Structure 1
């Protein structure tokens, strides 16, 4: 399902943090991540991430 801007509205959940939706893309690890992942494992120095909506552009 898409919104009026063509963005996908389906929610995809994190395989690690089951109740969190994937909202970011870690360019360092080349994988989608949730908010919890972004502040824990991928929050370390050297990890660069952007929102999934920006990654899809």
Structure 2
């Protein structure tokens, strides 16, 4: 489980993962990819408060 304010995202590769949060979906996704730190990481989910 991951807690975030506003928007959050999760990225992973075969060996690594990253999580991110931000004011919008794109900012959260960028941070998740940055924390995953390998080019093979892909965003699996990005959600914002109020998404249904």
Bin for the TM-score computed over the shorter chain: 0.3 to 0.5
| Structure whose alpha-carbon radius of gyration is higher | 1
State the structure with bigger RCO (CA 8 A, min sep 6), 1 or 2. Answer: 2
TM-score by length of 1: 0.32
TM-score by length of 2: 0.33
Structure with bigger strand share is 2
